[in-house]
Structure 1
Amino acid sequence: MTEVDKSTEHIDFKFYHNFNGHQIQNKQVEVTLYRILQEGINNIFKYSKATKVDIQLKSYEDIYMLTIEDNGIGFDAKKVVKENSGLGFKGIKNRLDAINGFLEIESQEGRGTTLLIEIKKDF
């Protein structure tokens, strides 16, 4: 069993959406959301020590919104953003910059992490 396999045994994932059969038509947006979700989950496995993860992908009139929330150990988000450290967050930011998306990171040590991503449907 690999290290990632072991970590998933102790994490309760919940996924919420409001797509009801709707699909994202723009392939660049679709791939961007997929890659961001992939990076977010990878970071949770590697660093968070979370036991619970809630993922929401919502379609609104003008935007798609992705939130990834965990109950892990958290980190100093202001420091990571200020120092531009964390290769995963740099990758997420670069992907969003390419399609004029928005990223907000909320995290405090000992209090979990929330990533909020918004992408305009007509970027």
Structure 2
Amino acid sequence: MDSKEKELYTAILIATLIIAAILLYFIFSIIWYQKKYRSLSKAKISAEITTLENERKRIASDLHDDVGPLLSAIKIQINHLDGQNEAEAALIRKSSKYIDDIIKRMREISNDLLPNVLIRKGLAAAIQDFLGKMNDSDSLKITFTCPQEQRVPANVEVNVYRIVQEIVHNTVKHAEATHLQIQLVIDEHMLRLASEDNGKGFDYKEMIAKNGGLGLLNLQSRAEVMGGEFDFTTEKSKGTRYLFEIPLKKSV
């Protein structure tokens, strides 16, 4: 190999190393930015969910603590009125009945925003209460099992409760199922939530093309906020299965 060939070889080698270094730089940059984006995206989703739940809590508290007593006071005042004739007395009775209906509906809204049973008795009891109401009002038969009931951190209880609501609503709205099974298993280190329906299932790619898979994204976001994992399997005419695994931190 003469000197010119050596120079050419050296130049090619240097050029190759430079190109390789540039490619590696871009590859590592892309990986770094992807990790950074995921981190920022997760933080943004977490902040949005926290803001949403705090707003729900505030509205529920306002309805329960402020609006409720005010309506009750108005009802008492109305009931103390004496109608001058039967028409006025009937109007008073009707107004009192309207206020009763408003108070009842307001309590339902407040409970939907933040169920009292979730605060007082915990996740399993709140899910059982919610599913009991769904079983009363829909043709879908829902069975729920929880071998061991125990309290978990409040943010986990709220997010898992919302996940159950999302699964049930999606099943009622889209699955055309007659049976939905939900199981909640809690141990010292892990919370596992599994569900399975006998509905029509769905085509994942088709669903993404139609509406972007918003329901699945909501479930995924809730799981990620808790540092957990989410998986699902579905086939047309063979139902849908969801699995959530949420790590539980030991209390100090």
**TM-score w.r.t. length of structure 1:** 0.82
User: What CA distance in whole angstroms lies between the structure 1 residues aligned with 2:248 and 2:218?
Assistant: 21
Question: Which residue does the alignment assign to 2:218?
Answer: 91
3-state SS in 2 of match to 1:64 = strand
Match of 1:28 in 2: 155
- Once superposed, what is the RMSD of the aligned Cα atoms? 2.2
Sort the Cα spacing of 1:80 and 1:106 in 2 relative to 1 into closer, same or farther, 3 A. farther
SS at match of 1:44: helix
- CA positional deviation for 1:100: 1.0
> Whose helix proportion is higher, 1 or 2?
2
- Alpha-carbon distance between aligned partners in 2 of 1:93 and 1:105, rounded to the nearest angstrom: 10
Q: Output the CA distance in 2 between the equivalents of 1:80 and 1:59.
A: 35
Identity of aligned residues (%): 32
Higher strand residue share:
1
Note the C-alpha offset of 1:61.
Answer: 3.5
* Structure 1 residue 23, shift from structure 2 partner: 1.8
Residue aligned with 1:74, SS:
coil
Runs of 4+ in 1 over 6 A off after TM superposition: 80-84
Where does residue 176 of structure 2 map in the other structure? 49
Q: 1:81 to 1:96 in 2, by over 3 A?
A: farther
**Is 1:116 aligned to 2:246, yes or no?**
no
Partner Cα distance (1:68, 1:115) in 2: 5
Q: Could you say which residue in structure 2 is the equivalent of 1:73?
A: 200
The aligned length equals 114
Distance 1:85 1:117 in 2: 21
- Look up the match of 2:41: none
The answer for the alignment partner of 2:166 in structure 1 is 39
Q: Which has the higher contact order (CA 8 A, sep 6+)?
A: 1
For 2:141, the aligned partner's letter is: D
CA deviation string 1:90-122 (max 9, x = no partner): 111111111211111110011000010110012
Distance (whole Å) between structure 2 residues aligned to residue 32 and residue 9 of structure 1: 24
2:188 corresponds, among 20, 45, 61, to 61
Asked whether the equivalents of residues 96 and 103 of structure 1 are also in contact (C-alpha less than 8 Å), the reply is yes
